[in-house]
């Protein structure tokens, strides 16, 4: 009798034990959504690998000037940024999955149609307009929306990882696309990009949930369940309303100004003009493209590390350090370009890669601090300034190359702009607690 009673009393104690490890080791759904977002941004990044590779082939094939090709790149870069705030509002209205799936289809269409182009206006239409709109809908505002909805902890780290996805796409596609261009032609490279965008669509449609409430979970790190908000009508009106509210604040202009210089010194300058500049000094296109891919490797490390730092240190000081170091490195670049790769050039590539978009996590953190629930849309407008800066330098860099016969003046001017951005970052005032939504 005693043995039976003891066994019965012991049973409830031992019963739950096998289930505890499974609960402890279960991965929160937010990390799966972040993984799908990472893969999606990688697919979208494929087309952004092409501009620097195709400037010389398009110039040779059609006789278009570098300024003309740079104009198409400028339209692409500007729309990439200007579309972002409206895309963030559309995601609030129609859901992340629908907006991203349509954007991938638009990218595939624009990239595929370039195969049949024979005049410059078609390049601007396909490469600039269609791909600019599609890629802009999956810009960093997309990453900000996913992070804001699915995470209350580790936001800086997740932002860094998702930002690094763009560099990972460059890493994956750039050496392959440069090999395709040199071995075959630029047209198969454009088709490869279109197929890459199409391949991501099924993952988005099946796995990318709009909100934790869709699967009955709390956001990662949240203490309470968060109901899914009702769709927000008037996406375009809301994006513009948030902009009008934000422009009345000083931090917006400082964030937009620093991020415009960030875009000018990365996407507009290095990503667009580094390969042709290196080729001017006798370096093969594949070697120069491989150096950009190495930037992509270290950008992943640098951006994730920046996200980790942003969770722990003052974001304004981080931005000042990032921009100052970037400006110094650009001043040395004209002395490093040569027909072959040498150790000082490798040091520049590693250094620049670590700093490439390390500015994103602290910039997004400052948007959250000052603009609360509207931070994703505000960041979309800040990203628009990033791409406008990139677009200007993509165009003006081509003009400078046509006018002066080299890129030296562009490197020096960009270095000076980065020094100005470092000072602007230090001026941004602190706000101890996030504010409520602007709209």
Q: Per-residue pLDDT tens for 323-379?
A: 999 999 999 888 888 888 888 898 999 888 888 878 888 998 898 888 887 887 888
pLDDT at 139: 65
Domain extents for the chain? 29-211+231-427
CB 377 within 8 A of CB 252: no
pLDDT at 197: 81
Q: How far apart are CA 432 and CA 50, in angstroms?
A: 43
Q: How far apart are CA 65 and CA 58, in angstroms?
A: 9
Per residue in 254-291, pLDDT (tens digit) is 999 999 999 899 878 887 888 888 888 888 878 887 88
pLDDT at 233: 67
Mean pLDDT of 1-17: 45
pLDDT at 2 over 50: no
pLDDT at 107: 85
pTM score: 0.67
User: What does the mean pLDDT of the chain come to?
Assistant: 80
pLDDT at 351: 87
pLDDT at 437: 43
Per residue in 29-40, pLDDT (tens digit) is 888 888 888 888
pLDDT at 115: 85
Nearest to 270 by CA among 347, 349, 340: 349
Per residue in 151-173, pLDDT (tens digit) is 887 777 787 778 777 666 666 67
> For residues 264 and 402, which has the higher predicted lDDT (pLDDT)?
264
How would CATH label the architecture of 29-211+231-427? Up-down Bundle (1.20)
End-to-end CA distance of the chain: 71
Percentage of the chain exceeding pLDDT 90:
9
Confidence of residue 421 (pLDDT cuts 50, 70, 90): very high
pLDDT at 3: 47
pLDDT at 5: 45
């Amino acid at each position: 009798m005693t043995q039976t009673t003891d066994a019965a009393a012991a049973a409830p104690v031992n019963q739950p034990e096998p289930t505890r490890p499974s609960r402890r080791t279960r991965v929160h759904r937010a990390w799966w959504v972040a993984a799908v977002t990472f893969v999606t941004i990688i697919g979208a990044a494929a087309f952004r690998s092409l501009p620097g590779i195709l400037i010389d082939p398009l110039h040779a094939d059609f006789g278009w000037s570098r300024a003309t090709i740079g104009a198409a790149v400028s339209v692409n870069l500007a729309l990439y940024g200007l579309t972002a705030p409206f895309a963030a509002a559309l995601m609030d209205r129609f859901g992340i999955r629908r907006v991203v799936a349509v954007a991938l289809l638009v990218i595939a269409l624009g990239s595929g149609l370039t195969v049949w182009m024979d005049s410059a206006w078609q390049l601007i239409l396909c490469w600039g307009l269609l791909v600019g709109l599609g890629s802009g809908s999956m810009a960093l505002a997309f990453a900000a929306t996913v992070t804001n909805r699915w995470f209350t902890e580790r936001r800086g780290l997740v932002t860094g990882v998702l930002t690094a996805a763009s560099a990972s796409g460059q890493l994956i596609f750039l050496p392959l696309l440069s090999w395709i261009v040199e071995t075959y032609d630029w047209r198969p490279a454009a088709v490869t990009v279109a197929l890459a965008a199409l391949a991501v669509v099924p993952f988005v449609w099946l796995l990318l949930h709009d909100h934790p409430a869709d699967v009955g979970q709390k956001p990662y790190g949240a203490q309470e369940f968060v109901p899914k908000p009702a769709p927000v009508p008037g996406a375009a009106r809301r994006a513009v309303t948030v902009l009008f509210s934000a422009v009345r604040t000083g931090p917006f202009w400082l964030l937009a100004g620093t991020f415009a210089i960030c875009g000018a010194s990365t996407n507009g300058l290095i990503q667009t003009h580094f390969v042709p500049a290196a080729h001017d000094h006798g370096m093969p296109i594949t070697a120069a493209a491989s150096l950009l891919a190495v930037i992509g490797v270290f950008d992943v490390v640098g951006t994730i590390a920046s996200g980790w730092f942003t969770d722990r240190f003052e974001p304004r000081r981080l931005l000042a350090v990032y921009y100052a170091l970037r400006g110094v490195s650009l001043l040395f670049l004209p002395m490093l370009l040569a027909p072959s790769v040498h150790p000082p050039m490798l040091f520049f590539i590693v250094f620049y890669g670590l700093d490439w978009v390390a500015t994103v996590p602290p910039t997004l953190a400052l948007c959250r601090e000052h603009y609360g629930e509207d931070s994703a849309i505000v960041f979309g407008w800040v990203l628009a300034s990033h791409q406008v800066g990139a677009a200007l330098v993509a165009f003006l860099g081509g003009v400078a190359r046509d006018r002066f016969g080299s890129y030296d003046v562009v490197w020096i001017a960009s270095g000076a702009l980065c020094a100005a951005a470092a000072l602007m970052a230090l001026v941004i005032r602190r706000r101890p607690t996030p504010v409520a939504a602007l709209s």
